[in-house]
Structure 1
Amino acid sequence: MSSREDETLAQVAVTALTGQLALAPKPGLPDPRDLGARALCRDHGSLRWSAKALAPGLAAMAAAARRIGEPTPALRAELGAIGRSTEHSVRLAGGGHKGALWALGFLVAAAALTPGAGGREAAVTAKRIASYNDKGAPRRPSRGSSISVKYGAAGARGEARAGFPHVRRALDALAKARAAGATEAEARLDALFTVMSTLQDTELLYAAGPLGLRHVQAGARGVLEAGGTSTTAGAEALASLDADLHARAWSPRGSAGLLAGALFLDALPVSSRAPAA
């Protein structure tokens, strides 16, 4: 049974996910305008509803971490089992969030292992958890893992085993934009484009191939190089990328899940935030 602390961590994670969903405009991703709803076969409202279905599973992951007390193969196996059960619950609630569940699951467990720590310390602990193989995982490769092998992309597993470098870069982008006077929404969008600009998003690789991935990365870099979303030039670059990805029905869903992870870590107690590697 999860404690109040575990339930609180889970709620903070769900709030981070719904905060990501509330951002607009997000090129190629669902937002309050229902951008891409036809392409993704689900609308913004249903995604907000199904996000709530993650809470019991995330609380159970935090409880497992707190009970076991350290990163071990046993903890990794238990997180995997809880994650698969939670995926089923989310499908019943409307679906979505698989990538976010992967990232948030590791990070919530890491936060439970390091109570009172800041986001960067939790990311290091998550790396230690992810270093173990999940012996209970299905033997059949997932679409994401197959795409990772085909194109040599790190994928979700590689991101976790590296200590979530794109999540840490998103934290840096949040801090930089806030310091420059951006609104919170602008800072979060800049963090999203920071992730999009370099992430080898397996969802994009599946839908658009390497050329499409590079096209999206270049578009995200264009927003940042124009000064970010708080500037007129950056806002114009964002509008152009928004229209482009909407027309192509390309969705950088991997980046969205990692932004949710960054928003979760950002809500943890403040610690040293040195630049990400």
Structure 2
Amino acid sequence: MTLALAWRAQRAQPPQVRAPCAPDAAAIAASAVDCLLLELETWPKPGLVSHIDRGSHDDMDAETLRVSAETIGPYFAALADGGAGGCAMERLRVIGLEAEAAMFAATSGINTHRGAIFGLGLLCAAAGARSNGRVDPALSLGATVTRLWGSSILVGPVLLHSHGMRARRRFGAGGARAEAANGFPSVYQVGLTALRRGALIAADDAEAARVEACFALIAAVEDTNLLHRGGLDGLLYARRVARQFLGQGGVGAPGWRERAGAIHQRFVARRLSPGGSADLLAMTLFVDAHERSCP
């Protein structure tokens, strides 16, 4: 079965978070895309696009993100294959650039998922490496990324004119590259903890657990998207408001959805969008699915 046929067969199944440990690159990619779509189907997320509204974005909506996610799916599969086959970071980077080109073609030039292509793509490559026995199965996906590609991530070429790079030059932020090279500490130390806490608090509401994780990531992450849109004041404001929400009980407090919705509107009024946290939420969902299905 060709990659394209395998991909279409996977996507014909009902939406869900599929087990990314399957030794099939298309299954790994399908799980990654499902996680991007679950992130999109989460609301309220301060300032971010969802199935409810555009958030702080005038240039994209939910359908734009759905098309983008499906478009980059085959490239996640190629990255998983690359990880299984022992590809160096240079080859993975080429696949990522091909994915970006396909994304821009599908969205008429809108940057919908560049951060996810990088971070989630590396996790797909790590899942491929793990499924093929290239690393110790006791290693997490994040630790696998560090072990196989960490040093190469830090020394590779940079996008001089990206929003994230401008923010890093201006504010000295670490950004996605440092996050990946260090094994995605924000996913493991913040996102997963909050996701599982939310699942315990709201046992029958998976969306609530995702909202809890989203707020926790906003509260903790040095999000270069927030720095780009709102400067240091915007980042500090977003962190403060997210911490207040969590400190008042998060999704375990009565009326949490209304309070989260009001925070969302305050972000929209300020044109703030924590896109880095959105990418990390999708990565958190992917890692959570992997750990649940891959003992």
What is the TM-score when the length of structure 2 is the normalising length?
Answer: 0.83
Total equivalences in the alignment? 267
Partner of 1:88: 101
Q: Contact (CA 8 Å) 1:81, 1:136: kept in 2 or not?
A: no
Q: Contact (CA 8 Å) 1:28, 1:250: kept in 2 or not?
A: yes
Distance 1:55 1:209 in 2: 33
Q: CA deviation at 1:27?
A: 1.3
Q: Which moved more, 1:78-87 or 1:231-240?
A: 231-240
Candidates 46, 51, 67, aligned match of 2:69: 51
Say which SS state the counterpart of residue 200 (structure 1) adopts.
coil
Q: How does 1:67-146 map to 2 (within 5 A)?
A: 67-68=85-86, 75-94=88-107, 95=110, 96-115=112-131, 121-128=140-147, 129-133=149-153, 137=157, 140=160, 142-146=162-166
Q: Deviations over 1:136-190 (max 9, x none)?
A: 7367453312311321211010111121111112111111121233421100110
Q: Contact (CA 8 Å) 2:191, 2:213: kept in 1 or not?
A: yes
Partner of 1:179: 200
Q: CA RMSD in A?
A: 2.5
Letter of the structure 2 residue corresponding to residue 156 of structure 1: A
Distance 1:187 1:42 in 2: 25
Q: How does 1:10-89 map to 2 (within 5 A)?
A: 10-36=29-55, 39-68=57-86, 75-89=88-102
Q: How does 1:257-268 map to 2 (within 5 A)?
A: 257-268=279-290
Say which SS state the counterpart of residue 232 (structure 1) adopts.
coil
Distance 1:254 1:8 in 2: 25
Distance 2:137 2:62 in 1: 30
Say which SS state the counterpart of residue 292 (structure 2) adopts.
coil
Q: Contact (CA 8 Å) 2:198, 2:208: kept in 1 or not?
A: yes
Q: Deviations over 1:59-110 (max 9, x none)?
A: 1111111111xxxxx5111111100110010111114111111110111111
- Structure 2: runs of 5+ lacking an equivalent: 7-22
Q: Contact (CA 8 Å) 2:127, 2:141: kept in 1 or not?
A: yes
Q: Contact (CA 8 Å) 1:118, 1:269: kept in 2 or not?
A: no
Q: CA deviation at 1:56?
A: 1.1
- Structure 1: runs of 5+ lacking an equivalent: 69-73
Say which SS state the counterpart of residue 290 (structure 2) adopts.
coil
Percent identical pairs in the alignment equals 33
Q: Deviations over 1:210-249 (max 9, x none)?
A: 0110000111111111111242253343133111011112
Distance 1:15 1:81 in 2: 23
